[in-house]
Structure 1
Amino acid sequence: MSEQKLAAELRTEFGKGFARRARAAGQIPAVIYGHGAEPIHINLPGRATTLAVRVSNALLALDVNGEEHLALVKDIQRDPIKQIIEHIDLLTVRKGEKVTVDVAVHVIGEAAIGAVANQEATTVSLEAEATHLPTFVEISIEGRKAGEHVHASDIVLPSGSELLTDPETLIINISEATSEAEEEAAPAAE
């Protein structure tokens, strides 16, 4: 995943009132922190930032008054009703540095006839280079029969990534499909 380039402005005013005015002007308040440096308070362009952070583990190349900062999105605060971004926390990273991220698990294929796949975990934790973060990992369940399991250790990891999730963590459980007649009979039997 390549970084998204954004121009940012240093922020000198703080507080709720200023944050509201910044959002009304189409900007998103944010803070960059990490590596023991003082936090840098900035404003980001609203629309461009919203588009850039749609993917998980977004890597941003920020130009703050001519100074380049490479940052990973750590947290996004959203309005609970409007779902607009109210504030972003960014973690400064360096090229070649390894970071820990949670990555989505995508299931591809279909289980054998008469079997159903239940996804027990939707993400796994990986350690990867900050500039080469995977957006997801894939697990194929094509033709798997009832009773089979897929554990975290079975995931084929992108090159340069290391699994941090316990290798015995159950990701997918393949079980027998139940018919409607069995489902209706089950509550009556209790």
Structure 2
Amino acid sequence: MAEVKIQAESRTEFGKGAARRIRRDNKVPAVLYGHGSDPVHITLPGHDTMLALKTANALLMIEVEGGESHLALPKQVQRDPIKGFIEHVDLVIVRRGEKVQVDIAVHLEGEAVSDALVVLEAQSILVEAEATHIPDGVTVSIEGLEVGAQIHASDLKLPTGTTLAIEPDTLVVNITAQPTAEQLEGETEGEEAAAAADSAAEPVAAAAE
């Protein structure tokens, strides 16, 4: 994974008011921490940060104006729940050659048999890899798999240098039978009955209050 260089500024103002002012300038408040060092509070350029974080586990080279440069991975990204813009970023400092644990996406390729329902039980898996060689994801072939087939974490073909950080028997893909019309009808009736029961119980709860 290529490093993405981002120019950062030191940040000395804190609190909600300061954060709002930073965002109005199309910048993102952030903090760098890790390896026993004191947290480094910085401000990142909004557009460059947004583009960089479109890639999962983006490896960032944070060049702090008038200070040091740090290799870092995004640990937590806070976004506005409505507009989706980045509100704050926690970055963990890493070193070249260092092993880190990260979640990587599971991608499916191929098609199971026609009467099968493919259930992706784990959309991502936790792995351990070098900070500078984190895979983009892992691809799983379901081509021709029949009902009853299962793929566990131990079955995944991970890139060299990457190892599982979860139990090997973790279920990743489950191939089941397509539900019949009768089963779907039964589920619908069950949901309607549950909704009716909840609705009938509401006046009783209100009276109890």
**Shorter-chain TM-score: what band?**
over 0.9
Aligned position for 1:10: 10
In structure 2, distance between residues paired with 1:143 and 1:70: 43
- 1:15-66: CA deviations, max 9, x gaps? 1111111110111000000000010000000001001001111111111125
Task: Indicate whether 1:44 and 2:41 are aligned.
Answer: no
Greater strand percent: which structure? 1
Deviation at 1:113, TM superposition (A): 2.3
Task: Indicate whether 1:118 and 2:119 are aligned.
Answer: yes
Counterpart of 1:73 in 2: which secondary structure?
A: strand
Instruction: Identify unmatched segments of 5+ residues in structure 2.
Output: 190-209
- 1:66-112: CA deviations, max 9, x gaps? 52110000001111111111100000000100000011111111001
Write the letter of the residue equivalent to 1:32.
L
Write the letter of the residue equivalent to 2:161.
G
Counterpart of 1:121 in 2: which secondary structure?
A: coil
Aligned position for 2:62: 62
Counterpart of 1:2 in 2: which secondary structure?
A: coil
**Fraction of identical pairs, as percent:** 53
In structure 2, distance between residues paired with 1:185 and 1:37: 58
Deviation at 1:182, TM superposition (A): 5.2
In structure 1, distance between residues paired with 2:54 and 2:22: 21
Deviates further, 3-12 or 113-122 = 113-122
Q: Map 1:1-190 to 2 at 5 A.
A: 1-65=1-65, 67-180=68-181, 183-184=184-185
In structure 2, distance between residues paired with 1:168 and 1:14: 46
Deviation at 1:184, TM superposition (A): 3.2
Report the RMSD for the aligned CA atoms in angstroms.
1.7
Instruction: Identify unmatched segments of 5+ residues in structure 1.
Output: none
Aligned position for 2:198: none
Deviation at 1:175, TM superposition (A): 1.3
Scaled by the length of structure 1, the TM-score of the pair is 0.94
In structure 2, distance between residues paired with 1:187 and 1:30: 47
Write the letter of the residue equivalent to 1:176.
A
Deviation at 1:115, TM superposition (A): 1.5
In structure 2, distance between residues paired with 1:167 and 1:60: 30
Deviation at 1:145, TM superposition (A): 0.7
Deviates further, 158-167 or 173-182 = 173-182
In structure 2, distance between residues paired with 1:94 and 1:61: 11
In structure 2, distance between residues paired with 1:113 and 1:83: 38
Greater helix percent: which structure? 2
Write the letter of the residue equivalent to 1:26.
N
Write the letter of the residue equivalent to 2:153.
A
Deviation at 1:181, TM superposition (A): 5.2
Structure whose CA Rg is larger: 2
Deviation at 1:187, TM superposition (A): 6.6
